[in-house]
C-alpha cells in the first residue's frame, strides 16, 4: 500500500529515486518493528473492509502527540475520509494539548488539508535522512480550541 500511495503522490514532488530510498529505508520490517517498540500506534484505514490508507501516531509526552503517517489511496482523497480519520485520531488522544506532524513543503495538497483541520506552520526545517537526501518540511501543529 505504501508503494502504491507514494509512487503516485510523492514521485512528482521528490522524484522516484528518493521515493525508492525512503520506502526502502523506513518501511522495512525491522524499522516498523522499531517504531512499534518506541510506542507508535499503527492503524489501517478501512472502507467497506478494504484497506485504503494507514496512519501512525505516538504520544511524545503527556498530552503532546505526533502524527508520523497519514496516507490515503489517491482515489479516496478529497471525499471526507481524511477529515474522519483525523477526528478518530483526536478521539484516541487523551489530555490533548498539541498534535504535531511534518509535511513536505511542496506537498500543497496535504498542507491545505492540514490547514483545513486547524493546523498552523510552527517551523520550517530540513531533515537529513542519509545518502544525501533531505526531507524539506514544515513542522505543523494543531492545538484544540
Integer CA distances (angstroms), 32 to 22, 41, 56, 67, 125, in order: 13, 10, 10, 15, 24
Q: What are the pLDDT digits (tens) for 75-85?
A: 887 888 899 99
Domains belonging to the chain, first-starting first, are 2-142 (3.40.630.30)
What is the per-residue pLDDT for 75?
83
Q: Report the pLDDT averaged over residues 34-62.
A: 94
**pLDDT tens-digit readout, 81-129:** 899 999 999 999 989 999 999 999 999 999 999 999 999 999 999 999 9
pTM: 0.90
Amino acid at each position: 500500500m505504501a508503494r502504491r500511495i507514494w509512487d503516485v503522490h510523492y514521485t512528482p514532488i521528490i522524484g522516484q529515486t528518493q521515493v525508492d530510498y525512503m520506502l526502502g529505508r523506513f518501511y522495512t520490517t525491522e524499522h516498523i518493528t522499531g517504531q512499534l517498540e518506541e510506542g507508535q500506534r499503527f492503524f489501517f484505514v478501512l472502507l467497506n473492509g478494504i484497506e485504503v490508507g494507514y496512519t501512525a501516531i505516538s504520544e511524545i509526552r503527556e498530552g503532546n502527540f505526533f502524527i508520523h503517517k497519514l496516507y490515503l489511496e489517491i482515489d479516496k482523497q478529497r471525499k471526507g475520509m481524511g477529515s474522519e480519520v483525523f477526528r478518530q485520531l483526536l478521539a484516541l488522544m487523551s489530555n490533548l494539548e498539541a498534535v504535531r506532524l511534518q509535511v513536505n513543503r511542496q506537498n500543497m495538497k496535504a498542507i491545505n488539508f492540514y490547514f483545513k483541520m486547524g493546523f498552523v506552520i510552527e517551523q520550517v526545517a530540513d531533515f537529513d535522512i542519509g545518502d544525501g537526501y533531505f526531507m524539506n518540511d514544515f513542522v505543523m501543529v494543531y492545538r484544540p480550541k
